[in-house]
Amino acid sequence: MTTAEQGAAILIPASNAAIAKSPLLKWAGGKRWLVNRVELPLPVHFKRYVEPFFGGGALFFHLSPRKALLGDLNSQLINTYCAVRDSWVAVEEKLSRHAMSHSSEYYYKIRMSRYEDPIEEAARFIYLNRTCWNGLYRVNQKGEFNVPIGTKTKVLIPGELRSISAALAGASLSAADFAHTMADTSEGDFVYVDPPYTVKHNVNGFLKYNQTLFSWEDQIRLKNEVRAACLRGAKVLVSNAAHESLYLLYRDIGEVITIDRASVISGSNAGRKREQEILVKCF
């Protein structure tokens, strides 16, 4: 393989199966809105794509890299991606059963259920994501998913899981803290970092990072991991809140770009407004 071929990781790998370009899951804080924006800075070449807060993975699926390292602290989320990557036919079979049985009573029955079989658990995860309120992932103190049923009823899209599996074929997946994933980065990597948007002196307290709290101290810890990755030669892009505390935190690392977006988490149109985020470009 030539150097040029190794570097052109943003090209879709050759395959008879269609490669997914859109995320499998709806995810709070997801970046579907960002991937086609002209303001989004991307490196021309890289050998491996790395994302330590994978979530819905909008940028990953948009770029379709040949090789990737994808991490997230949410073990159920990572199990779902692994199951679809390795056994999409079996997951699709289980998901089709959920689709045929969907009702309010059935939703709450499945919400209360858990499975030891990773295939069954992955199908449950996708079903709940498709049919819960606003695609929100939220758990109680016992780690139990507790989001109410939503209005969406479309559970299964023909050919989707096969294309998601093809997109994930070259990806290594890990249920891990971001520091574990970031520590494995080096020259040739493009690292996209999209953490929970905690800011200093947040009046709403700290944001949930899976079942734990993502605090301001975690933001500082993350900034140090970003700096270390840059010093190792990785190309890093960070998304974060457009808040003075974040501008100050990243002022000495890279170029800070402010970008407008629409807030879409609100349940009503009246509650949705234009907001700003920052992109920190370190390459």
- Count the helix, strand and coil residues of the chain and give each as a percent rounded to the nearest 5: 35, 20, 45
Q: What is the mean pLDDT of each run of 10 residues along the chain (283 residues)?
A: 38 58 94 95 97 98 97 97 98 98 98 97 98 92 92 95 98 98 98 90 47 83 98 98 94 94 58 80 97
79 lies in a domain?
no
Question: Could you tell me the CATH number of the domain that includes residue 212?
Answer: 3.40.50.150
Q: Is the residue at 145 inside a domain?
A: no
* 117 domain residue, yes or no: no
pLDDT for 268: 53
**Residue 210 domain-assigned?**
yes
Q: What range defines the domain where residue 51 resides?
A: 3-73+178-282
Q: What is the pLDDT of residue 275?
A: 85
- Domain membership of residue 85 (yes or no) is no
pLDDT at 13: 40
The total domain count for the chain is 1
**pLDDT at residue 273, rounded to an integer:** 60
What is the reported pLDDT for 250? 96
Please report whether residue 278 resides in a domain: yes
Q: Is residue 186 part of a domain?
A: yes
Asked, for residue 109, whether it belongs to a domain, the answer is: no
Residue 276: what pLDDT? Answer: 92
Between the alpha carbon of residue 179 and those of residues 112, 139, 193, 224, the distances in Å are 32, 23, 11, 10
Contact 138, 147 (CB under 8 A): yes
